[in-house]
Copies of this chain bind each other. A is one copy, B any other.
Amino acid sequence: MAKSSFEYVKTFELSDTLLPNTWIVVRLDGKCFHKFSEDHNFTKPNDVRALKLMNYAAFTVFREFNDLLMAFGQSDEYSFVFKKHCTVYKRRAAKLVSTITSKFSASYVFYWSKFFGEEQLKYPPSFDGRIVLYPSEENLIDYMKWRQADVHINNLYNTTFWTLVKEGKLSPAQAEKRLCGTVSGDKNEILFKEFNINYNDEPEIFKRGTLLLKKHINMNESYKCVSVIVDVHDDMLKEKFWTYHKDLLFMKSKQNFIYDGPITEIISEQLQEKYISKSDINNSL
């Protein structure tokens, strides 16, 4: 069994190392999720269960990679941002993109019932992945803004469209025609004047997508602060987000952002893992 005589085929595997000192963004997109969402009775225009499952799958990815700075998700897509000096898997492109996509996909299936309860998963979904490098802070911030602006645009459209269909009793084709050529202001006005819906009151998770970040939580006096991954819906299109988080992109060791927002399920779970046997956990929350 002269295995060695075949081993030359290994030399056909070429290097795909990514340029050092650039932020690595891995973005995943659901494949055929239009059909998948119909097959699984997703609520329109947004299904909270589905968004929470996306966030939770992203969270399972996030906790495995120390070099992740943040992740941002909306609809059926998620972006993961690795720090510039990241050397995980020697920065090999295929290894990175496939591992992230694999972990995310396996988690999506594994945690399905945690969020969908009785709604059965009918078949395994899949996601594709891509890698983009950003050499400057400005480029990376613009990337994040681009994805978040996309949430806003899509969600305003979808919210108006489905309101016209569900409450306005238009057919999808009529709703589409009605919205053709409208700008943001027009859609806000339709919602407000015709349906008494103030778009600003829509849930943040719908309007802004979800951002995962590493932050610290101050526990009660007897404990040090605890590092957790938080799921927030901050407005990255505002400069003050970037001013406040100005060290975020350059984290070399531990950053020290203090979190004082609500204790979400994702955060609560991490706190419990760390303090499960300690009596004060419930107090602190």
Chain A interface residues toward B at CB < 8 A: 1-3, 5-17, 19-22, 28, 31, 60, 84, 89, 93-95, 97-99, 101-111, 121, 123-136, 139, 142-143, 145-146, 149-150, 152-153, 184, 237
Q: Please name 23 pairs of A and B residues whose Cβ atoms are closer than 8 Å in the assembled complex, sorted by A.
A: A1-B149, A1-B184, A7-B146, A11-B20, A12-B132, A12-B133, A12-B134, A12-B143, A13-B130, A15-B17, A19-B19, A19-B22, A20-B135, A95-B129, A97-B98, A98-B128, A99-B126, A101-B102, A102-B129, A103-B126, A105-B106, A106-B108, A109-B110
Q: Which residue of B lies closest to A31 (CB)?
A: B99
A19 to B135, Cβ gap below 8 A? Answer: yes
Which of A14, A103, A105, A130 has the largest count of B CB atoms less than 10 A from its CB?
A105
Q: How many copies does the complex hold?
A: 4
* Complex interface: chain B residues within 8 A of A105 (CB): 101-103, 105-106
Other A-B contacts than A103-B126, A106-B108, 10 sampled, CB-CB below 8 A, are: A7-B146, A9-B134, A9-B142, A10-B146, A12-B132, A14-B19, A60-B124, A94-B131, A99-B126, A110-B121
In the docked arrangement, what's the CA distance between A106 and B103, Å?
Answer: 9
In angstroms, Cα B9 to Cα A143, docked, is: 6
Cross-interface CB contact of A153 among B3, B99, B126, B130, cutoff 8 Å: B3
Select which of B16, B129, B146, B149 is within 8 A of A98 by beta carbon.
B129
State how many angstroms separate the Cβ of A172 from the closest Cβ of chain B.
Answer: 24
List the B side residues contacting A133 at CB < 8 Å.
12, 19
